[in-house]
Amino acid sequence: MPEPPAVVAAQGSVVADAEGQASVDLFAGYEMSGAETEDVTLRWPTQLIVLAGAEGSGKTTMLAALYEHLGRGSFAGFDFAGSRSLLGFEKICHANRVVSGGTRPTTERTIPSDEAAYYHLALRETSGDRRRRQVLLSALSGEQYGWARNSREECEKLTFLRRANAIVVLVDGAKLASLEHRNSAHTAAAGILDAFLDAEMVPSGCHVEFVFSKLDRIRGGGDVALGFLKQTQDKLEAKFRAHVPHLAFREIAVRPGPTNDDEDHAKGLASALATWASPRTPSRFDDERAMRPSSDAREFSKYGWRRSDEARRAKP
Domains annotated on the chain, with CATH: 28-278 (3.40.50.300)
Q: Find the range with the poorest average confidence among 31-40, 154-163, 273-282.
A: 273-282
**More confident call, 198 vs 108:** 198
Task: Report pLDDT for 262.
Answer: 56
**More confident call, 256 vs 313:** 256
Task: Report pLDDT for 267.
Answer: 82
With b for 16 or more beta-carbon neighbours within 10 A and e for fewer, the 53-75 pattern comes to: bbbbbbbbbbbbbbbebbeeeeb
Residues in Cβ contact with 99 at an 8 Å cutoff, skipping those fewer than 6 apart: none
Strands 22-26 and 12-16: antiparallel
Count of beta carbons in the 10 Å neighbourhood of residue 185: 26
pLDDT, tens digit, 9 for 90 and up, residues 130-177: 999 999 999 899 999 999 999 999 999 999 999 999 999 999 999 989
Distance of CA 227 to CAs 77, 180, 203, 233, 265, Å?
A: 33, 15, 32, 10, 20
- Has residue 109 got a pLDDT over 60? no
- The Cα 313–Cα 316 span in angstroms is 8
DSSP secondary structure, 226-280, as one string: HHHHHHHHHHHHHHHTTT-TTEEEEE--SS--TTS-HHHHHHHHHHHHHHHTS--
Q: How much is the pTM?
A: 0.78
